Amino acid sequence: MRVLITGGAGFIGSHFVRSALSGSYAGLELANVTVLDALTYSGNRDNLRPVEADPRLSFIEADITDRALVDDVMPGHDAVVHFAAESHVDRSILGATAFVSTNVLGTQVLLEAAGRHGVARFLHVSTDEVYGSIEKGSWAEDQPLAPRSPYAASKASSDLMALASFRTHGFDVVVTRCSNNYGPYQFPEKVIPLFVTNLLDGGTVPLYGDGLNVRDWLHVDDHCAGIALALRAGRAGEVYHIGGGTELTNRELTEKLLAACGATWKSVVPVDDRKGHDRRYSLDISKIGTELGFEPAVTLDEGLADTVAWYRNNRDWWEPLKRRAEPLG
């Protein structure tokens, strides 16, 4: 089996690649993996260093919007797992063009090439942010999309293009939507690695607004395990939610990170709230549990402790990133 993994040098994609090549996923134990990644600011070849010597791994540095190149790479692959995306909300507020180009156009380029060359399955990785905000309860997979940031709108658009390929052409597409991810190798602009690396350096951390926005936290290992299940056994044309089942306000998350890093609230700097900041996200994950047997395995306390320890022990990975291009926030 040959699998093309877009964005495979990024945070979540590289975790999937490392896990797949280590034999963690049923059906992919002997798979050959092609990583296609443009190595933008958040893509990093070092994320693949633990498996770079594996003869089953091939790496191609390229943009998914490059039609000719994608058409050259696609033949011979049995499946595509599509992680590649511009994904930071704050950056999308500052400028949305790159998000539309990569997330919408890039996805369509991949879908068309995969269809032309007979790829058996296309798994499109998306986000809970496409639904907007929910005050109570949890979203089911048939919830109408109501994105409220340029990033979320671009992901919602890519979801619809993927699902349209199934409905129009009968192309075997599966869409997964996840809650907030965390874990090792996450670029230090996202909230957990930003807070952890700042606090380990004795710095301050920003807290948006009143800090009461709620997010569900999902360890990247659980997310990728869910993707592997959907890739192997998900029904074509279906959407599956992958969540961690642990909701926290941003203040509660901040408290946990302060404690883990040995810091106090003196390190927290209140900042103006993000434009259009969604109040709460919550996914109903019963469908993937019932159909595919998914259940989160990493508790939040365990996952945060391991994540903080990883950043504490891997300064050589994140310090150059922060020196080269100071993350937003």
Q: What does the pLDDT read at residue 240?
A: 98
The catalytic residue among 25, 151, 240, 311 is: 151
Tens digit of each residue's pLDDT (9 = 90 or more) over 301-326: 999 999 999 999 999 999 999 887 55
- What's the predicted TM-score (pTM) here? 0.95
Q: Which helix (H) or strand (E) holds 123?
A: strand 121-127
For a pLDDT cut of 70, what percent of the chain falls above it?
98
Q: Which residue has the higher pLDDT, 49 or 43?
A: 49
Mean pLDDT across the stretch 234-250?
Answer: 97
Residue 151 annotated among the catalytic residues of the structure: yes
Residue 327 clears pLDDT 70, i.e. is over it: no
Q: What does the pLDDT read at residue 90?
A: 76
Quote the CA–CA distance of 173 and 177 in Å, as a whole number: 13
Residue 216 annotated among the catalytic residues of the structure: no
List, in sequence order, every residue forming a beta bridge with 173; answer none if it has no partner: 122
Written as one string, the DSSP assignment of 215-250 is: EEEEEHHHHHHHHHHHHHHPPTT-EEEE--S-EEEH
Mean pLDDT across the stretch 144-168?
Answer: 96
Residue 311 annotated among the catalytic residues of the structure: no
For a pLDDT cut of 90, what percent of the chain falls above it?
88
Q: What does the pLDDT read at residue 233?
A: 98
Q: Which helix (H) or strand (E) holds 121?
A: strand 121-127
Apex CA 322: angle with CA 321 and CA 323, to 5°?
Answer: 90
Mean pLDDT across the stretch 35-64?
Answer: 95
Tens digit of each residue's pLDDT (9 = 90 or more) over 112-126: 999 999 999 999 999
The catalytic residue among 128, 159, 172, 216 is: 128
Mean pLDDT across the stretch 225-251?
Answer: 97
Contacts of 184 (CB under 8 A, 6+ apart): 15, 220, 306, 307, 310, 311, 314
Quote the CA–CA distance of 30 and 324 in Å, as a whole number: 37
At residue 329 the predicted structure's pLDDT band, cuts being 50, 70 and 90, is very low
The catalytic residue among 86, 129, 172, 221 is: 129
Q: Specify the amino acid at residue 322.
A: K
Q: What does the pLDDT read at residue 96?
A: 86
Domains of the chain: 2-181+218-242 (3.40.50.720), 182-215+246-278+298-324 (3.90.25.10)
Tens digit of each residue's pLDDT (9 = 90 or more) over 178-202: 999 999 999 998 899 999 999 999 9
Quote the CA–CA distance of 85 and 288 in Å, as a whole number: 23
How much is the mean pLDDT over the chain? Answer: 95
Mean pLDDT across the stretch 9-35?
Answer: 97
